[in-house]
Structure 1
Amino acid sequence: MSENVVYSINGPVVTVRDTQDFQMMEMVYVGKNRLIGEVINISKKRTTIQVYEGTTGLRKGDPVLGTGGPLCASLGPGIISNIFDGIQRPLAEIASKEGAFISAGSDIHSLDTEKTWTVTMKVAPGERVKGGDIFALCPESSMVEHRAMVPPALEGTVISAAENGEYTVKDVLAVIKDDKGKEHSLSLSQKWPIRRARPVKERLAIDRPLITGQRVIDTLFPIAKGGTAAVPGGFGTGKTMTQHQLAKWCDADIIVYIGCGERGNEMTQVLKEFGGLIDPKSGRPLTDRTVLIANTSNMPVAAREASIYTGITLAEYYRDMGYHVAVMADSTSRWAEALREISGRLEEMPAEEGFPAYLPSRISQFYERAGYMTNLNGREGSVSIIGAVSPQGADFSEPVTQNTKRFVRCFWALDKSLAYARHYPAINWNTSYSEYLDDLSGWYRKNISPDFLLRRQQIASLLLEENKLMEIVKLIGSDVLPDDQKLVIETAKIIRVGFLQQNAYHKEDTYVPLSKQLKMMEVILYFYDKAKALVTKGVPISEIAAAGLVDKLTKMKYDIPNSQLELFDDYYKQIDEKLAGLDQQF
């Protein structure tokens, strides 16, 4: 029987008195059901533990057992296509053994320990290996090859290696003797503390975009591969839908979707939709390269706080193999609320709006685990983080949104009025920004066109000018504007409806390659330049609008297939013909 027992219980916060047996961040088992907990505070008189499961039924005097190590994620084949809760318990396996509800102290291994994997060994006895080196391969899904790696801190000589064949995650595949003569057994699985970033060889400069196929993102507010972005928006503005589109279409190898504190019915919808989505790149189910972490709002609040770290640790593991991983965190506001609740139970001094004073540092620690890296094995990989933020009442001045803006370089502000007008993605082009444009300029010039960013700047300038003019229109109407300014408004309408607005259910518009995005910008700007020349000569804007070019340009996103960009030439001809006719007429 343990000498350490529960002294007090306050929701998920449990204390133990007069003990020196625990260390900070140690994982412990609390109570007779062995609830998983973590030490978060140690003082002379008491040790404080946050419990990741419901504490209903826990009593004063129940035993508390230490494990001697931190809370870790189990890393190995079987992660891809799986669905976990916030502390990496496999929900499908739990449902098959225990039913629809997770029982207290459920102790089911994160990885299937009985399933066998077809392993190809990459090392032989006598070889020298170090942390990060790949010693075995096995197909984890139809799209992901699992690369078993030597744990980061280990270095030594292989003294035995298994033959190629079928093995479970627990079978010993190789034995390494380190420089001190100690032997270490390697299997397909390893553990890693979720709150500690995995080591890398070098952090590389970010110089290539994470291509999403969404025009408002790729053209106006791009995110870099290995970069960070925030998607703030009020209820119903399309945060989850935007992340679904990014998960389906962005050019990442693996998607880690973290449902952090979301509504249960919404998480059910996510799980069903992801299960039915077909990956456009391979024709296989999208789940073949997806990991889902489901932590609903009625689950224990401490597990909600841990789910973010569990997800990013899994992402770093696949990054170390040489994959590009995109993490979708939905939503970090629920995670921050979990921090606030636990902080309140610890009776810590609250800061702005009751959030703990360390909220900014926790947000920064999470987003800083993104990056484009050279891993310990020499391969390049990246983790890109796209975090949804749910400010109450769509108030972007609240602490979570403001502190997130400090640590991300891409801000896609969702607008309620755009969402209600069925303009998706509802990203407001006046309040959003991306700081990656300068970093990515070389890539755009080399791979797309030297003029891409120039066209992007011209499009953004027209939108900015329209925003200023609309302030005047709201006050005194559009009739007082001169024709050149009316032309700006007409052209901006083409940009808003025909370029920025995108239909996720249209086969040609749900994903648009950068080459077509450039062509669309060039045609719109060509029309604007030609029309502006006519307006300067005195041709009324009403005549130009009556030519039908505005409607045609608005619909070109549907009318021109992504594989037939040569059809844009006909648009130039029609613009020339119709505007030339007006020039002769006036």
Structure 2
Amino acid sequence: MGKIVKVSGPLVVATGMEEANMADVVRVGEQRLIGEILTMSGDSASIQVYEETSGLGPGAEVVTTGSPLSVELGPGLVENIYDGIQRPLEVIMEKVQGNNLPRGVEVPALDREKKWEFTPTIQPGAKVVGGDVIGTVQETASILHKIMIPPKMKGTIVSIQSGAFTVTETVAVLETEEGEKVELPMMQKWPVRVGRPYKHKYPPTIPLQSGQRIVDTFFPVAKGGTAAIPGPFGSGKTVMQHALAKWSDVDLVVYIGCGERGNEMTDVLREFPELVDPRTGESLMKRTVLIANTSDMPVAAREASIYTGITIAEYFRDMGYAVAVIADSTSRWAEALREMSGRLEEMPGEEGYPAYLSSRLAQFYERAGSVSCIGSDEDRRGSLTAVGAVSPPGGDLSEPVSQATMRIVKVFWALDASLAYRRHFPAINWLNSYSLYLDSLKPWYDEHLGKDFLKNREWAMSILQEEASLNEIVQLVGKDSLSAKDQITLEIAKMIREDFLQQNSFVDIDSYSEYDRQARMLAMIRKYEDECRAAQQRGGTLAELFSVPAREKIGRAKSVPADQYKTAYDAIQDEMEQEITAIAEKGEDAL
């Protein structure tokens, strides 16, 4: 127990803390505000308080709990909405019957009264190690929650029982190698700043299918990979992350609203329960954990929210699931780091951010990966994909958070405000973005989509780059002065942009596009180009070639129902070939 000697916003300095340890969680003042020890000097501790500190003064008591900031892991996580330090917001709202988060409120993260139906998967006498699954709970229609032995334990199961239990009741008894008997509940705790262990990390080789054509075809991210979405205000970062959370082919999504506007989080909360998961047919909330630490909540808790979210994600990864962590936005998290660093009077780095900004960002993104899970089961593989938004002030990508993120992540989706203003969504700039996973994903593409898919992707990218250089000439001398070859290039680039890359999230069929559909659409546009160039050389006029009815149908093919697109695309392609051949023959006759 110590006494406060200084209060500076969320930073509190207390003396008499020689018994405490670095990173211990403490309770501050009469209201028992939650805090975490950041630095120790003699018996003096600097404490980061995760709640509003108004009213605190020198002399108030500080009591250490003796343990680091940890999260409760067990049935009840999915469909829940937590704040940055895993307090269930809906439960708190019911308890206090108000909209504001009261200070010092103590509510367990997992419901202590709800009973879950536990089904054992092993028998008494079985030898187990950390990570072994001893039973299952059907948490939601989409998630089968696997109850695992805590990572650092091993021994023999003495007894195990089936039935309905709360998360704190004993479901099994483990006898350790030392002969000690340990009661195992369904819940376990894990410190948020320590990554959960795994056996082996593999290079990511399977794409994360998002249903967004510019992402899946042009700049894919692998399952277990890392990606960043930088962009100025109003360019669609949050909308893009919502789309990833909705449609990505992962088993579970952890969405972290870190310092974002409250109304944006409200949109998520209202929208997700109504959306149907295309993989399971259930509500999207059945496979989602939300962490809401909005811009009006305490700054210090914002810094912890990222770690809370990724620790929960690692727990589900250890069950063998594919998990995606969507962090919106890491810039707000970095601003919280900067504020706390300033109050600690640390030497500032570039633009006032702490010198350890890059290493902290790396610690977050490095917890992603495709891994072999701990335990006796050799075949259990899980993946954790981390996607973070970056909000550079004024859209300046040379600022420290953007630069540090670009050095770490392998996929960079650069959002462009000018595209957003032109109503081109997703507003990802195809000339500034990149993905470094294409080589490792090539075997998967070749096997599932054929060898032409990546060739068509490279062709489309070269057409768009050529268009960028031709546009400079067009602005000087006009489009009509270009050669026929260049005019066809501009027309094909326009088709790629408007018919392929642009998606309408308000149209159900177009908001999600599966890989086979994307591959067929891109191949159809390339076929149109080949036919056009051949017909033009045979004497066909450009005006006629650009106005063939089938060309308009390619753009409208995005709205063909999912069970009809193969037949529709084949019919459009046959029609297109006939129309262009007729124009070519007409041109030959004229010659």
TM-score range, shorter chain: over 0.9
Q: Deviations over 1:257-300 (max 9, x none)?
A: 00000111222122111232222222221111110001011111
Q: In the alignment, does 2:541 pair up with 1:540?
A: yes
Q: What is the aligned partner in structure 1 of residue 191 from structure 2?
A: 193
SS in structure 1 opposite 2:469?
helix
**Cα pair 2:258 2:332 within 8 Å, conserved:** yes
Q: Deviations over 1:284-335 (max 9, x none)?
A: 2111111000101111101000000000000000010111111111111110
**CA–CA distance in structure 2, aligned partners of residues 358 and 79 of structure 1:** 32
After TM superposition, give the deviation of residue 126 of structure 1 in Å: 2.0
**What TM-score results when the alignment is normalised by the length of structure 1?**
0.97
Point out where structure 2 has 5 or more consecutive residues left out of the alignment: none
Q: What is the aligned partner in structure 2 of residue 513 from structure 1?
A: 514
Q: What is the aligned partner in structure 2 of residue 106 from structure 1?
A: 105
After TM superposition, give the deviation of residue 176 of structure 1 in Å: 1.4
**Cα pair 2:226 2:410 within 8 Å, conserved:** yes
Point out where structure 1 has 5 or more consecutive residues left out of the alignment: none
Q: What is the aligned partner in structure 2 of residue 170 from structure 1?
A: 168
**CA–CA distance in structure 1, aligned partners of residues 43 and 68 of structure 2:** 22
Q: What is the aligned partner in structure 1 of residue 440 from structure 2?
A: 439
**Cα pair 2:535 2:581 within 8 Å, conserved:** no
1:277 to 270, 275, 278: 275
Give the aligned residue type for 1:172. Answer: T
Q: What is the aligned partner in structure 2 of residue 390 from structure 1?
A: 391
2:225 to 224, 227, 231: 227
After TM superposition, give the deviation of residue 416 of structure 1 in Å: 0.6
Q: Deviations over 1:453-484 (max 9, x none)?
A: 11111111111111111122223322221110
Q: Deviations over 1:129-182 (max 9, x none)?
A: 110011121111111111111110011112232x21110001011121212222
Identity %: 49
SS in structure 1 opposite 2:419?
helix
Q: What is the aligned partner in structure 2 of residue 311 from structure 1?
A: 309
Q: What is the aligned partner in structure 1 of residue 156 from structure 2?
A: 157
More deviation in 348-357 or 558-567?
A: 558-567
After TM superposition, give the deviation of residue 538 of structure 1 in Å: 4.6
Q: What is the aligned partner in structure 2 of residue 499 from structure 1?
A: 500
SS in structure 2 opposite 1:357?
coil
**CA–CA distance in structure 2, aligned partners of residues 573 and 483 of structure 1:** 24
**Cα pair 1:484 1:536 within 8 Å, conserved:** no
Q: What is the aligned partner in structure 2 of residue 10 from structure 1?
A: 8
After TM superposition, give the deviation of residue 223 of structure 1 in Å: 0.6
**CA–CA distance in structure 2, aligned partners of residues 456 and 560 of structure 1:** 24
**Cα pair 1:560 1:568 within 8 Å, conserved:** no
More deviation in 404-413 or 539-548?
A: 539-548
Give the aligned residue type for 1:234. Answer: P
**CA–CA distance in structure 2, aligned partners of residues 310 and 498 of structure 1:** 41
Q: What is the aligned partner in structure 1 of residue 290 from structure 2?
A: 292
SS in structure 2 opposite 1:175?
strand
**CA–CA distance in structure 1, aligned partners of residues 493 and 561 of structure 2:** 20
Q: In the alignment, does 2:357 pair up with 1:359?
A: yes
Q: What is the aligned partner in structure 2 of residue 28 from structure 1?
A: 26
Q: What is the aligned partner in structure 2 of residue 338 from structure 1?
A: 336
SS in structure 2 opposite 1:234?
coil
**CA–CA distance in structure 1, aligned partners of residues 527 and 405 of structure 2:** 39
Q: Deviations over 1:433-463 (max 9, x none)?
A: 1000001000011112121111111111111
**CA–CA distance in structure 1, aligned partners of residues 122 and 531 of structure 2:** 66
More deviation in 551-560 or 420-429?
A: 551-560
Give the aligned residue type for 1:184. Answer: V
Distance change >3 Å, CA 360–CA 209, structure 1 → 2: same
Give the aligned residue type for 1:145. Answer: L
SS in structure 2 opposite 1:502?
coil
Q: What is the aligned partner in structure 1 of residue 147 from structure 2?
A: 148
**Cα pair 1:208 1:225 within 8 Å, conserved:** yes
Distance change >3 Å, CA 569–CA 537, structure 1 → 2: same
SS in structure 2 opposite 1:486?
helix
**CA–CA distance in structure 2, aligned partners of residues 117 and 18 of structure 1:** 44
**CA–CA distance in structure 2, aligned partners of residues 149 and 91 of structure 1:** 27
Instruction: Kindly report which structure 2 residues correspond to 1:11-90, keeping only aligned pairs within 5 A, or say none.
Output: 11-17=9-15, 19-44=17-42, 46-90=44-88
**CA–CA distance in structure 1, aligned partners of residues 82 and 345 of structure 2:** 31
**CA–CA distance in structure 2, aligned partners of residues 176 and 45 of structure 1:** 40
**CA–CA distance in structure 1, aligned partners of residues 57 and 239 of structure 2:** 43
How many pairs are equivalent?
583
SS in structure 2 opposite 1:160?
strand
After TM superposition, give the deviation of residue 421 of structure 1 in Å: 1.1
Q: In the alignment, does 2:408 pair up with 1:410?
A: no
More deviation in 289-298 or 371-380?
A: 371-380
Q: Deviations over 1:369-416 (max 9, x none)?
A: 100111013311111111111111111121111111111101111111
Q: What is the aligned partner in structure 2 of residue 123 from structure 1?
A: 122
Q: In the alignment, does 2:185 pair up with 1:184?
A: no
**CA–CA distance in structure 1, aligned partners of residues 494 and 81 of structure 2:** 43
Give the aligned residue type for 2:87. Answer: R
After TM superposition, give the deviation of residue 206 of structure 1 in Å: 0.8
**CA–CA distance in structure 1, aligned partners of residues 447 and 474 of structure 2:** 41
**Cα pair 1:490 1:550 within 8 Å, conserved:** no
Q: What is the aligned partner in structure 2 of residue 531 from structure 1?
A: 532
SS in structure 2 opposite 1:566?
helix
**Cα pair 2:538 2:585 within 8 Å, conserved:** no
**Cα pair 2:226 2:386 within 8 Å, conserved:** yes
After TM superposition, give the deviation of residue 125 of structure 1 in Å: 2.8
More deviation in 128-137 or 172-181?
A: 172-181
Instruction: Kindly report which structure 2 residues correspond to 1:230-269, keeping only aligned pairs within 5 A, or say none.
Output: 230-269=228-267
Across the aligned residues of Structure 1 and Structure 2, the Cα RMSD in angstroms comes to: 1.4
**Cα pair 1:278 1:285 within 8 Å, conserved:** yes
SS in structure 2 opposite 1:422?
coil
**CA–CA distance in structure 2, aligned partners of residues 265 and 508 of structure 1:** 27
**Cα pair 2:3 2:16 within 8 Å, conserved:** no
After TM superposition, give the deviation of residue 537 of structure 1 in Å: 4.0
After TM superposition, give the deviation of residue 512 of structure 1 in Å: 1.2
After TM superposition, give the deviation of residue 235 of structure 1 in Å: 1.4
**CA–CA distance in structure 1, aligned partners of residues 325 and 17 of structure 2:** 39
**What TM-score results when the alignment is normalised by the length of structure 2?**
0.96
Q: Deviations over 1:543-562 (max 9, x none)?
A: 32233444232222224645
Give the aligned residue type for 1:529. Answer: D
**CA–CA distance in structure 1, aligned partners of residues 135 and 15 of structure 2:** 47
**CA–CA distance in structure 1, aligned partners of residues 564 and 407 of structure 2:** 40
**Cα pair 1:560 1:567 within 8 Å, conserved:** no
After TM superposition, give the deviation of residue 348 of structure 1 in Å: 1.1
**CA–CA distance in structure 2, aligned partners of residues 235 and 585 of structure 1:** 52
**CA–CA distance in structure 2, aligned partners of residues 445 and 300 of structure 1:** 49
Q: Deviations over 1:109-136 (max 9, x none)?
A: 0000000011112233322111001112
**CA–CA distance in structure 2, aligned partners of residues 451 and 422 of structure 1:** 31
Give the aligned residue type for 1:9. Answer: V
Distance change >3 Å, CA 543–CA 564, structure 1 → 2: closer
After TM superposition, give the deviation of residue 540 of structure 1 in Å: 3.5
**CA–CA distance in structure 1, aligned partners of residues 330 and 563 of structure 2:** 35
Q: Deviations over 1:485-544 (max 9, x none)?
A: 010000000000000001112232111111111111111111101111233345432232
**CA–CA distance in structure 2, aligned partners of residues 428 and 75 of structure 1:** 39
Tell me which stretches of 4 or more aligned residues in structure 1 moved more than 3 Å: 536-540, 559-564
**CA–CA distance in structure 2, aligned partners of residues 330 and 236 of structure 1:** 14
After TM superposition, give the deviation of residue 9 of structure 1 in Å: 0.7
After TM superposition, give the deviation of residue 19 of structure 1 in Å: 3.7
